Structure 1
Amino acid sequence: VSHRIWALVIDALRDAGARVEGIASFTWDEIRDISRFCSSPVKEIFFFHSAGDLQQACHAGQIKEGDSVFFNAGSLLWDKSDGTDTREFCRTLKTKFWDPFDAQKVKRCYSLMPYARILCGAKTNKEDETTDGEWSTTQGSQDVDDSSRSSFESDQLSTPSSAKPMLENRQALKVQGSSTIQDYKDFFQLSIGLYCQEFAVDEAAMDFIVNHVNSNPHVYDLGLSWGGVNGITVRGIQPGRFTHTDGFWNQRYAGNKWDRSLFPFTNEI
């Protein structure tokens, strides 16, 4: 769909008295710079399947400073298995076909991936300039080694490079253990929101995600987009041996895995 068509739709809605807050799409080229065709500016919101997709878009030069983005919150709880690792593949087969399955245990074990960890005390305004960074320990988050918990200041690790701003950063990787969503938010000054597939999320996963978003508004400033009605959507939804109810649904098969070795800044001189 061309920019002009979407612009006509937006202007028609406004003329009819509707308040158009923004236009969102998974097809980014359709809405990039669409305000040029509208009677007045409109916010552009870019949607992604996973946090890894957002990371890849940053490295492909498809994200600009100040963009507003949404991705599926289920990707914060999901680690895509490596089908080329024989040991991991066998372990997955054993879990799926042999081990006893307990839905309640699955719901108790929801945890954040390392790239979803939050640096507490991040500089969000002038009053925060003297605050030291420490890793947030959101309840239920995944245990990682001590190096992942080390406090750091990104400007001490590296200097952003206008020539090559998107490279593997070995020093940052050694200190942090993984790049994070917050690294990209701070570097690109992004506004970030989350969504999920409401028909494929159980109440434990939803509670976990809501608490994480509410505890970190400086990262997820656009909050959580929810299309369910009064919690009815999640009533009775339970994980199964071959089904996931973390809200990610089949987007897990389309979304990219987060690359922990990539950072939005570089050490190069």
Structure 2
Amino acid sequence: MSTVPNITLNDGVQIPQLGFGVFQIDPADTVDVTLTALRAGYRHIDTAQMYGNEAQVGEALRHFGGDSSEVFVTSKLNNSHHGRDDALASFETTINDLGVDALDLFLIHWPMPDVGDFVETWRAMEEIKATGRCRSIGVSNFQPAHLRRLADETDTAPSVNQIEVHPYFVQDDVRAANAERGIATEAWSPIAQGKVLDDDTLIEIGKAHHKTAAQVTLRWHIQRGDIIFPKSVTPSRVAENFDIFDVDLTDDEMARITGLDRDQRNGPNPDEFNMIPK
């Protein structure tokens, strides 16, 4: 079985560079799908309060035949729980739903700049980490201006910033802002929700390495240093996405993939997104 490299975060915590995401997986299917990923070799699961399947991820961990303590688990704060007291209480709910004593990584899911004060929320995240019940804290969908405000007004840099990244939206400006502060980049929607799979360039590069367009794209992320967690409910695809460590893309191939950038965002713009779930 392939060995997934670890990334050492700015707080010394190590995170597997390849994980499995459970976004938009029906809670009724989450246990079986998560177990499929764990049995395929994944040791990093990415969930969120808004996904509605934390409890099912926790159930899968309990049913897993291997050592669940080796599995790195991430969750994210619900948008309706910004602010100190709500964030602290919400973290307790996540711990209980997952059925774990401590969480590996907890993120602010969206900055929500026009709704709440993400700086106050970040200070709550610092409190959560200080309890020892969360190994690492980070953010998701934060723009460079949001990161600058955290740096100016708080004491702790996020360990990661989880942002939309794929060959059609390479986000090098945000990745550079992350790197400047020692923040690791996590890429959600790493294959652009499947939109890159018919790309002629990716197919051509894949043929040269006996890989699919999806595998080539995921390998591009790995070689760039992104942390990724592709999602699939199909067992063969789950295994395929894990099979990317026996190939090295050339510098030219990497540049060709990066050159596919269209500045094409599929998800919401973090500067404008202020959705509070009901």
- Higher helix proportion: 2
- Higher strand proportion: 2
The structure number with the bigger radius of gyration is 1
Per the normalisation by structure 2, the TM-score is: 0.35
Q: Which has the higher contact order (CA 8 A, sep 6+)?
A: 1
